[in-house]
């Protein structure tokens, strides 16, 4: 609990939001569909707005998702989505992570953060895309701190 109070921990609410988003990403990949950059933003009342970024290159989509978080913070939410001032966010996207041999493995990458706290990234290696129940993933592993898009 001490870490949570000093702005370094991950709250149960952020853990839930990011876990739910990661589960959605796994479901998409298990079905064999392309995983777009997906973003979930939550306000203090627990309202969640979801956004998908798909019409550009993966890098452009990721940049668009990050900018959307910044925009929502400046705009104090999104009335059309019934989202108040955002307090936490998570975004997930497809990528690859180098293993200890330098070979790249398919992965789902996650960035998540809360206003006033350290933001983090994580990844889960995935295998069996499009194989339904044969789809597998690893437990999320930390990938380091990232910029907090909410400040």
Q: Helix or strand or coil: residue 29?
A: helix
Average pLDDT over the chain, rounded to whole?
93
pLDDT bin (cut points 50, 70, 90) of residue 9 is confident
Q: Helix or strand or coil: residue 81?
A: helix
What pLDDT is recorded for position 4?
42
pLDDT of 85 above 60: yes
Q: Helix or strand or coil: residue 58?
A: helix
Q: What is the pTM (predicted TM-score) of this model? A: 0.91
Alpha helices in the chain (DSSP H): 2-5, 12-31, 58-75
Pairing outcome for strands 86-98 and 104-114: antiparallel
Chain centroid to CA 148: 12
Pairing outcome for strands 86-98 and 37-43: antiparallel
Dihedral of the alpha carbons of 19, 23, 113, 88, in degrees to the nearest 10:
-90
């Amino acid at each position: 609990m001490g870490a949570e109070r000093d702005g370094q921990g991950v709250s149960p609410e952020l853990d839930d939001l990011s876990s739910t988003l990661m589960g959605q990403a796994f479901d998409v990949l298990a079905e064999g569909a392309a995983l777009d950059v997906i973003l979930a933003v939550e306000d203090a009342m627990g309202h969640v707005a979801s956004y998908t970024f798909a019409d550009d290159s993966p890098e452009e989509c990721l940049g668009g998702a990050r900018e959307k978080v910044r925009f929502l913070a400046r705009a104090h939410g999104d009335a059309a989505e019934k989202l108040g001032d955002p307090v936490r966010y998570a975004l997930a996207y497809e990528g690859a992570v180098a293993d200890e041999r330098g070979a790249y493995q398919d992965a789902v990458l996650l960035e998540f953060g809360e206003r006033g706290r350290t933001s983090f990234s994580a990844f889960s290696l995935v295998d069996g895309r499009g194989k339904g129940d044969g789809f597998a993933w690893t437990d999320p592993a930390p990938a380091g701190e990232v910029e907090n898009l909410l400040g």
